[in-house]
């Protein structure tokens, strides 16, 4: 009886090991696009944790959950840790409930720095330590920016580094059709001044430069906030941007009003926008880029984040049928460097354990990034990953923006109180393209913010 038990257990372990090996998306050591040494080194230094439990809670569901699981499987295979991932449709509320109830996961992954700051202030996060902050500064593009988004005040009121950035999104992009540019003899602009000249040239040639759509049902207006945020980063310092999103300066400060008017130079110029100014607010953001692909094109340029190809006509090949360039900066403001607007997820320990610390260590390995990079929907500011691991040239170019950025800032409207960033700011932008001046709109938004006090 005892012999058969041990034989059965050994067989089950062998089968489980084989199953784990088969679950690895890319067999270790067999694809030169990946930094397998980082995986081997991590495996060799974490073999003592086999069998330890680890619970990971995050925002990813559906396809994204499958993609994250493909990465998590390498962590499991390297350490033998019993790691389990879960999510919730209302993950923001669920993590608050779980931490307050004293039953948090070991690891919480969240895309909201503000929510993590709240959890840290209540004593629900474990500080990662200065060494991690130093590592981020040395290994991430715009490292200081990422450190800032992971640094919060704890329950004792002292600042510490709590959250490790992992997975980013880019918003500072302008999409175009290369064939249209080639036929018209247009070149990709390198500065904002050149972008305005290109827009004027397209008008002079009888075309329309821009497709802009702010429609999004109950969220109508949000695409304009991305425009204004990009303009803030191109006309003001990162410190001014930070003060703006925290109401450290008023919404109707000249710096903010000026950024809104810079957006207006595009959106409120009837010659610049497909369908005229009236179409800007009424066109759904998902339909807006389709004008790039009409014959003849209804527009030549479209400002939108890295997700927008999902709404391109079926069969369009990125890099060939559609491409992007970085939303350029002003040649007249070289001191502002190369800012990138975007978003990202941050990983924190909510219940400490050796397995939890090992998971944070795993995120320092290039392989933890490259496995997802090679599939879809993943960008990283980690400078030591192999760029060739990206699944296509478009992702590779977007990733390069992150590793070479001098400043990275989260979407400002997401950092503002909900009634402002997802309320007054949205509606204010619709009022603006509808005819109100920037100063009036900004003052209305500030009044809404004042009303929260």
**What token pair was written down for 274?**
């497909």
Residue that the structure tokens 């927008």 belong to: 308
Query: Rounded to an integer, what distance in angstroms lies between the CA atom of residue 417 and that of residue 397?
Result: 33
Model pLDDT, residue 23 = 85
- For 80, list phi and psi in degrees, rounded to 5: 75, 5
DSSP string, 322-368: BEEEE-PPPTT-GGG--EEEEEEEEEEESS--HHHHHHHHHTTSHHH
Residue 83 has pLDDT above 80, yes or no: yes
Which pTM was predicted?
Answer: 0.93
What is the rounded average pLDDT of the residues 178-207? 98
For the chain, count helices (H), then strands (E).
Answer: 20, 11
- 225: CB partners within 8 A, 6+ apart: 411, 412, 413, 421, 425, 426, 429
SS3 236: coil
Span between the terminal Cα atoms of the chain, in Å: 72
- For 57, list phi and psi in degrees, rounded to 5: -120, 135
Query: Rounded to an integer, what distance in angstroms lies between the CA atom of residue 205 and that of residue 200?
Result: 9
SS3 160: strand
Identical fold for domains 33-170+341-410 and 173-337+412-450, yes or no, is yes
Closest to 401 measured CA to CA, from 150, 140, 162, 175: 140
The domain locations on the chain are: 33-170+341-410, 173-337+412-450
What is the chain's mean pLDDT, rounded?
A: 94
381: buried, middle or exposed (CB in 10 Å: 19+, 13-18, 0-12)?
buried
**CATH fold of 33-170+341-410:** D-Maltodextrin-Binding Protein; domain 2 (3.40.190)
Helix, strand, coil shares, percent, the chain, to 5:
50, 15, 35
- Rounded to the nearest 10 degrees, the angle between the axes of helix 63-79 and helix 354-362 is 110
Model pLDDT, residue 54 = 98
Q: 173-337+412-450, superfamily in CATH?
A: Periplasmic binding protein-like II (3.40.190.10)
Closest to 245 measured CA to CA, from 140, 127, 148, 124: 148
Length in residues, the chain = 453
Query: Rounded to an integer, what distance in angstroms lies between the CA atom of residue 102 and that of residue 294?
Result: 56
- Which pLDDT tens digit goes with each residue over 5-39? 333 333 333 333 433 444 899 999 999 999 999 99
What is the rounded average pLDDT of the residues 45-49? 94
User: Higher pLDDT residue, 269 or 8?
Assistant: 269
Q: Give the single-character DSSP code of 248.
A: S
- Which pLDDT tens digit goes with each residue over 393-403? 999 999 999 99
- Per the DSSP assignment, residues forming a β-bridge with 348 are 108, 163
- Rounded to the nearest 10 degrees, the angle between the axes of helix 254-267 and helix 438-450 is 130
Torsion angle, alpha carbons of 37, 41, 42, 46, to 10: 150
Residue 279 has pLDDT above 80, yes or no: yes
- Which pLDDT tens digit goes with each residue over 229-264? 999 999 999 999 999 999 999 999 999 999 999 999
SS3 166: strand
């Amino acid at each position: 009886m005892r012999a058969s038990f041990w034989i059965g257990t050994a067989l089950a372990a062998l089968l489980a090991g084989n199953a784990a090996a088969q679950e690895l998306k890319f067999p270790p050591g067999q694809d030169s696009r990946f930094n397998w040494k980082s995986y081997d080194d991590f495996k060799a230094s974490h073999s003592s944790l086999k069998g330890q439990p680890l619970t990971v809670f995050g925002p990813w569901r559906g396809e994204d959950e499958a993609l994250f699981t493909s990465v998590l499987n390498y962590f499991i295979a390297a350490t033998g840790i019993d790691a389990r991932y879960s999510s919730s449709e209302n993950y923001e509320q669920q993590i608050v409930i779980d931490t307050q109830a004293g039953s948090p996961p070991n690891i919480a992954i969240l895309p909201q720095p503000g929510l993590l700051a709240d959890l840290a202030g209540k004593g629900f996060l474990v500080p990662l330590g200065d060494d991690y902050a130093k590592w981020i500064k040395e290994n991430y593009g715009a490292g200081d920016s990422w450190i800032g988004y992971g640094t919060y005040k704890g329950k004792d009121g002292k600042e510490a580094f709590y959250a490790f950035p992992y997975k980013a999104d880019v918003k500072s992009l302008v999409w175009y059709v290369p064939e249209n540019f080639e036929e018209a003899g247009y070149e990709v602009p390198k500065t904002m001044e050149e972008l305005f000249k290109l827009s004027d040239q397209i008008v002079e040639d009888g075309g329309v430069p821009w497709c802009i759509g702010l429609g999004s049902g109950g969220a109508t207006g949000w695409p304009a906030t991305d425009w204004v945020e990009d303009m803030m980063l191109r006309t003001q310092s990162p410190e001014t941007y930070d003060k703006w999103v925290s109401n450290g300066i008023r919404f109707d400060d000249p710096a903010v009003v000026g950024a809104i008017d810079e957006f207006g130079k595009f959106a409120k110029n009837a010659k610049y926008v497909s369908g005229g100014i009236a179409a800007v607010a009424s066109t759904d953001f998902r339909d807006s880029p389709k004008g790039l692909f009409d014959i003849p094109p209804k527009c030549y340029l479209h400002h939108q984040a890295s997700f927008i190809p999902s709404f391109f006509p079926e069969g369009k090949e990125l890099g060939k049928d559609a491409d992007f360039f970085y939303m350029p900066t002003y040649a007249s403001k070289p001191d502002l460097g190369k800012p990138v607007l975007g978003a990202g997820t941050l990983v924190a320990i909510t219940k400490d354990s050796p397995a939890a610390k090992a998971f944070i260590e795993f995120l320092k390995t290039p392989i933890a990034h490259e496995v997802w990079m090679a599939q879809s929907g993943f960008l990283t500011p980690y400078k030591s990953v192999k760029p060739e691991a990206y699944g296509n040239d478009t992702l590779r170019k977007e990733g390069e923006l992150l590793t070479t950025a001098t400043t990275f800032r989260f979407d400002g409207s997401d950092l503002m109180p909900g009634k402002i960033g997802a309320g007054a700011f949205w509606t204010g932008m619709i009022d603006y393209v509808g005819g109100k001046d920037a100063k009036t709109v900004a003052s209305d938004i500030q009044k809404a913010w004042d009303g929260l006090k």
